[in-house]
Chains A and B, each alone.
Chain A
Amino acid sequence: KAGVTQTPRYLIKTRGQQVTLSCSPISGHRSVSWYQQTPGQGLQFLFEYFSETQRNKGNFPGRFSGRQFSNSRSEMNVSTLELGDSALYLCASSLVGAVNEKLFFGSGTQLSVL
């Protein structure tokens, strides 16, 4: 069974641009969540989707948005990029997103904002 796939692996953007990251969950997994990892901050929850609906959202500005498609694939978008958005963005999937389910993570997209 293929794992969680995130594309692209690396991205370099400049301030003010926007970026779209993609995530394909494990087959059969319907919950997809996104996390931002920065040095010293650990993983910060961005949002969680299930059946194309955002069920939970973290404390990030509205520049961060996402969506989920009918095949459970998900994208996240960051508009008007700032230097502080440089981070590793991780996608994780689980069957239904229950709180006692373990998450399966992709390898992440490393975003650098110059």
Chain B
Amino acid sequence: DQQVKQNSPSLSVQEGRISILNCDYTNSMFDYFLWYKKYPAEGPTFLISISSIKDKNEDGRFTVFLNKSAKHLSLHIVPSQPGDSAVYFCAANLPGGYQKVTFGTGTKLQVIP
């Protein structure tokens, strides 16, 4: 049972345009969400996070939006750069307790120069 879903396995975007990566979740108890980026032959690296008490969080070119009623979050990258080409994982955590992160299956972003 995939509780965090990334329905688009891949996405291609022109350099300079906006990249929008989507993520849906089924467990309404999730209250902390993160995005990680992964290059080939490397481990994932943290990109940005958002708590369920917020609906938007920005960090430079990266913005994450959370729509709790729709159980949906999205990552916007503006402007997209060739170095952003990677696999992006959406992840979610339950409140309380300790780390037991549920990850999505990933979206491979290709930014075309």
Contacts and interface: CB of A to CB of B under 8 A. Distances in A.
Interface size class of B (residues with CB under 8 A): 20 to 34
Interface in B60-113: 89, 91, 93-106
A90 B2 CA distance: 19
Contact of A50 (B44, B98, B104): B98
A13 to B, nearest CB: 20
A106 interface: yes
B105 A98 contact: no
Contacts of A101: 99
A105 B43 contact: yes
Contacts of B42: 107
A92 B102 CA distance: 14
Given A90-B44, A100-B32, A105-B44, A42 B105 contact: yes
Q: What are the nearest 5 A-B pairs in CB distance?
A: A105-B43, A102-B46, A42-B105, A43-B103, A99-B93
Interface of A: 4, 31, 33, 35, 40-45, 48, 50, 55-56, 58, 90, 92, 94, 97-108
Interface of B: 2, 4, 6, 32, 34, 36, 41-46, 49, 51, 89, 91, 93-106
